[in-house]
Chains A and B, each alone.
Chain A
Amino acid sequence: MKRLRPASSRWTGWLLVARPGALRSAQQQPVSLTLRRQQSTSTATAPASYNTQLDGTDHDRFPPLEPLPPSATSLPSPLPERALRSAKLAALHARLSLPKKLPLQTLARTLVDASADENPKFNNANLAFVGQTLINYHIAEWIMVRYPRLPMAIIWAAMLAYTGPAPLHQVARSWGIESAAVPGGEVDPGLLQYSLEKPGTAIRGFGYKREELDFIDKYKFRQSINSGVIFDDDYGNLIRENAQRQRQEEQDAMDANYDESIEPDHMSYGNEATRSLAENAHANFTRAVVGAIYAHCGRDAVKAFIKSHIMSRTLDFSKLFEFKNPTRELNMLCEREDFDPPIARMLSETGRLSRTPVYVVGIFSGNDKLGEAVGPSLDMARLKAAMNSLKSWYLYSPGGNARLPSDMLAPEARPWQPAYIDIGEVVAR
């Protein structure tokens, strides 16, 4: 019953408000309630102060699975002590093989999004910030060592593919996270709690809002990649500090225009905005777990966790590339590195006069073949061969098991061999 996701705030409120007669009937028949409480005693004893009559839920419609604290429905998130009695939470802890040093109360806190509870001591905002910093550092160092020649734009794309909201959302889903329909103090602490109505404060990483942001939006200026390293976020996206407020204003405008007399003939269960909010909530949970492990267990444990859950994902780096003038760029690369100028030669062909010719073209610098490709026409094959040659340069790797700089933080680490540092990609014109 708690799984359904109603569309707008009107419906949400309607579903959860107890029947007007419920509370009255409960008050008129205190004896039956007391009987019910004795019958439904759970093995874990609740504190004596818990009075099930006043927890705000409707006991006729939804018999409580466990005793709830007083006026639980008025709280934004479950109290920390309820974490010790949640089966879902204990199961999650065991499923992820989390270290024993990580208490259940912290794990419960990682499941509370900032949109559910605005108090930073009860939500996962700060934990998610720490986790995001850690994840981004470890993946960045891994990419730097594994592909030292990768162009900056490709690094951004790779970071988004490993540490962005979408992959972390998938990681959270793969952990078997279920979410509460609407956050509240009465929900199970093992459910992910976030609200679609109140967006909450976004986790703001590093980067600054550009002063010329309005001009960029209006005139579509192009920002340099290098300035993005300082100003933009870890994925090369512009920082917009007013995004949260904008979304809130849009939501308020929609609510103001809502006409109760007109019944909606269709219920949109979700749109792009709600999906992105849900994605961000799941991603923040993943980051918060990483942050919690770091806070309780230290750097080595968190590195092992990131390695097993995030670094283990596969990404085909060669699919991230896009070239505008591959032959020109390859020519400039050969000029810079002082190679012989690249020359395209046909290696083999078939079916030239047929409907489907096949040409195999290789690009040679002197006697060294830089790359080859198959294409349906001579030009296509040459362009593809140029792209493959550039990829073979940019995707140079000393191997997947190259040592990471953070390996030196382990005790008694072997002496460090300097990693290869490339001078940079070709600035293609």
Chain B
Amino acid sequence: MALNSSRSVLSSTCKALQQYSRSSQPLQQSLSRRLLPSAAPIRHFTSSPTCRSDKVPPTPTIFTEDEINAAKNGEQPPAELPEQQPAEPPAERPRWTYTPEKMKGPGFSINIVKDPRRTIWKNNEDPVVVDTMYKRLLGPGGDKMLPDEIKWMAITHKSFDQGRRGFNTRLAYFGRQILALESTREIMVSPAAQGELITDRYNREPFDHPAMANVDKLAFRQPRDLIHKDRVAKLALEVGMMRVVRWKPRLPENLEGSGLTVVLNTAIFAIVGAISLQHGAEVAQRVVREKILKKLGP
């Protein structure tokens, strides 16, 4: 603690006091007055724990016995001090709901836009709508497959909020690999269609083996056509993804020209990737085969 600067000592001590005695406002203020000569309001510098993962709880602040005693034995509470009460402790706010305060700019932009109407785009903020979409895509209980943060991150495009609240690009890349493998396998295990023959110019007989026959099916059906981006986008629209994805189209009057297909595909791939990382490949396989490939059709 000796190496800590006075400001971090102040914030950590105040937080500790807040945890232990919410009602004892005078103690907090008296301590602040002792450590900080001026009557400036308390400002928390690190207002949230360093590690933000849903799984790891926020680390408790460390304080010494002396500090509590010093606070308790402090001077008389002052007459008046401005009340400092944030609407909600920032540590409990989920990360997908807000832009990090320090990343916000001055509040205005000097950029001259061609058409100011294009800067306006409203995204969904209601968790119920997101849960409904997940239930329609993944079946009942689909909204509980992913933790809250990941659920929102998987449907957030990089264009949303300048990428400050996270985006689904990496998950989408992994999801694409999963879908590529599953669609290839789907073609290989599907029964061979009748009438699919390749005649050899030299009248040779190929090596006959059921495993090779499976591989030869790929000559007639391409996995790329099975999970074509237009089909995946159509599936996404059917489950109501368009109202749920968080993005910023370049031309709100022309969503297709702004890349709606890409955004919908990215969201579906990202959900698949997130399920694989959250539950393992077996669950992801089942989800892809039953919920996506089956719905896409042959």
Contacts and interface: CB of A to CB of B under 8 A. Distances in A.
A421 B274 contact: yes
Contacts of B50: 337-339
Contact of A133 (B45, B163, B181): B181
A234 to B, nearest CB: 8
Contact of B173 (A129, A140, A406, A423): A140
Contacts of B153: 421, 423-424
A120 B177 contact: no
Contact of A76 (B163, B164, B184, B202): B202
Interface of A is mostly: helix
B162 interface: yes
A145 B273 CA distance: 12
Contacts of A152: 169-170, 173
A319 B25 CA distance: 53
B124 interface: no
A229 B176 contact: yes
Given A105-B207, A106-B212, A120-B216, A406 B281 contact: yes
A94 interface: no
A125 B158 CA distance: 36
Contact of B46 (A105, A130, A340): A340
23 contacts: A75-B204, A119-B201, A120-B216, A121-B200, A121-B206, A122-B206, A126-B219, A133-B180, A144-B277, A206-B180, A206-B224, A229-B269, A335-B103, A337-B50, A337-B52, A338-B48, A338-B100, A407-B281, A413-B280, A421-B153, A422-B170, A423-B165, A423-B167
Interface of A: 74-76, 79-80, 83, 103, 105-106, 109, 119-122, 126-127, 129-130, 133-134, 136-137, 140-141, 144-145, 150, 152, 155, 204-206, 208, 224-227, 229-231, 234, 291, 295-296, 332, 335-340, 366-367, 404-409, 413, 416, 418-424, 427
Given A226-B167, A229-B176, 14 more contacts: A106-B212, A126-B215, A130-B184, A130-B218, A136-B180, A140-B177, A226-B262, A229-B269, A336-B100, A336-B102, A338-B48, A406-B281, A409-B281, A423-B153
Interface of B: 3-5, 8, 45-48, 50, 52-53, 55, 95, 100, 102-103, 147, 149-150, 153, 157-159, 162-174, 176-178, 180-181, 184, 188, 198, 200-202, 204-207, 209, 211-212, 214-216, 218-219, 223-224, 227, 229, 259, 261-262, 265-266, 269, 273-274, 276-285
